[in-house]
Chains A and B, each alone.
Chain A
Amino acid sequence: MSLVEVKALHISFGEREVVSDINLSIAQGQRVGVVGESGSGKSLTALSIIDLLPEAAIQHGEITRNLPKGDKLRGKHIGMVFQEPMTTLNPLMRVGDQIKEALELHLPDIDFDSRVAELVAEVDLPPTTALRYPHELSGGQRQRIGLAIALAGEPELLIADEPTSALDMITQAQIISLIRRICDQRKMALLFISHDLGAVSALCDHIHVLEKGRQVEHGETTAVLKSPREDYTKRLIAAAKPTRRRLTTRKIGTPLLELTGISKRFKLPGPFWAKKQYLQALDDISLTINEAECVGLVGPSGCGKTTLSRIIAGLNKAQHGAIRFDGQDISQQRGQMPKAARRELSMVFQDPFGSFDPRLTMAHSLYEPLNLMPELGQTERRERVEMALERVGLSPDMLNRHPHAFSGGQRQRFAIARSLVLRPKLVVLDEPVSALDVSIRGDVLELLAELREKFGIAYLFVSHDLDVVRAVADRVLVMERGRIVEQGDVDAVFDAPQADITKRLLNARLSI
Chain B
Amino acid sequence: MIGFAVTRIFGVAVTLLVAAAIIFLLLDIMPGDPARFMLGINATEDAVAALRTDLGLDKPTLERFFIWLFGLFQGDLGISFSQREPVTALMLERLQVSLPLALSALFLSTIIGLPIGIIAAQNRGKFGDTSAMILAQIGVAIPNFWFAMLLVLLFAVTWRIFPPGGFVPWGENPAHAARSLVLPAIALALPQAAILARIMRTSLVDIMQADFIRTARAKGLSLNQAVWRHGVRNALLPVLTIMGLQFAFLIAGTIIVENVFYLPGLGRLIFSAISARDLIVVRSSILVLVALVILVMFIVDLTYAWVDPRIRQGGQRDG
Contact = CB atoms under 8 A, between A and B. Distances in A.
Answer whether A and B are interacting partners. Answer: yes
Contact of A90 (B217, B234, B318, B319): B234
**What size tier do the contact residues of chain A reach?**
35 or more
A135 B211 contact: no
Given A135-B310, A271-B6, A274-B3, A89 B319 contact: no
Contacts of B6: 271, 273
B221 A105 contact: yes
Contacts of A89: 212, 215
Contacts of B319: 135-136, 138
Given A76-B220, A136-B319, A271-B6, A82 B308 contact: no
Interface residues of B, number: 31
A456 interface: no
Given A86-B318, A93-B230, A102-B220, A149 B215 contact: yes
B290 to A, nearest CB: 24
Nearest to A80: B218
Nearest to A135: B310
Contact of A135 (B210, B221, B234, B318): B318
B234 A92 contact: yes
Contacts of A272: 7, 10
Nearest to B209: A54
B307 to A, nearest CB: 6
B221 A88 contact: no
Interface in A84-114: 84, 86-93, 101-102, 105-106
A131 to B, nearest CB: 11
Contact of A87 (B210, B216, B219): B210
Contacts of B210: 87
Nearest to A91: B310
Nearest to A146: B215
Nearest to A77: B220
A216 B3 CA distance: 58
A139 to B, nearest CB: 9
A420 interface: no
B213 to A, nearest CB: 9
Given A136-B319, A274-B3, A106 B220 contact: yes
A91 B314 CA distance: 15
Contact of A105 (B219, B233, B308, B318): B219
Contact of B220 (A74, A268, A271): A74
A86 B211 CA distance: 9
Given A101-B229, A268-B316, A269-B316, A91 B212 contact: yes
Interface in B209-241: 210-212, 214-221, 229-230, 233-234
User: Most chain-A CB neighbours within 10 Å: which of B7, B214, B307?
Assistant: B214
Contacts of A268: 316
A92 B220 contact: no
Contacts of B4: 271
Contacts of B3: 271, 274
Contacts of B216: 90, 101
B315 interface: yes
Contacts of B229: 101
A79 B220 CA distance: 9
Main secondary structure of the interface of B (DSSP, over half): helix
A79 B216 CA distance: 11
Interface string A100-141: 011001100000000000000000000000000101101000
B169 interface: no
Contacts of A52: 214, 217-218
Nearest to B217: A52
A294 interface: no
B84 interface: no
Given A75-B219, A133-B309, A269-B316, A88 B7 contact: no
Interface string B279-319: 00000000000000000000000000001111001111111
Contacts of A149: 215, 219
Contacts of A79: 218
B227 to A, nearest CB: 12
Given A87-B212, A88-B212, A150 B309 contact: no
Contacts of A68: none
A270 interface: yes
Contact of A74 (B7, B211, B212, B218): B218
A74 B317 contact: no
Contacts of B233: 92
Contacts of B309: 91-92, 133, 135-136
A92 B307 CA distance: 7
A348 interface: no
Nearest to B11: A272
A221 B3 CA distance: 55
A152 B218 CA distance: 12
A133 B211 contact: no
A93 B319 CA distance: 17
Contacts of A152: 219
Nearest to B317: A135
B308 to A, nearest CB: 6
Contacts of B234: 90-92
A270 B4 CA distance: 9
Instruction: Give the residue among A74, A76, A268 with the most B Cβ atoms within 10 A.
Output: A74
A432 interface: no
A50 interface: yes
A416 B70 CA distance: 66
Contacts of B10: 272
Q: Which of B4, B215, B313 has most chain A Cβ within 10 Å?
A: B215
Which of B216, B218, B229 gathers most chain A CB within 10 Å? Answer: B218
B310 A133 contact: yes
Interface in B157-213: 210-212
A50 B7 contact: no
A281 to B, nearest CB: 14
A130 to B, nearest CB: 14
A153 interface: yes
Contacts of A105: 219-221
A72 interface: yes
Given A90-B234, A92-B308, A135-B309, A270 B215 contact: no
A89 B214 CA distance: 9
The 7 closest A-B CB pairs, nearest first, are A75-B220, A87-B211, A80-B218, A133-B309, A102-B219, A75-B219, A271-B3
19 contacts: A52-B218, A72-B220, A74-B217, A74-B219, A75-B218, A84-B211, A87-B210, A90-B212, A92-B233, A105-B219, A106-B220, A135-B313, A135-B317, A136-B319, A138-B319, A153-B220, A269-B316, A270-B314, A272-B10
Interface of B: 3-4, 6-7, 10, 210-212, 214-221, 229-230, 233-234, 307-310, 313-319
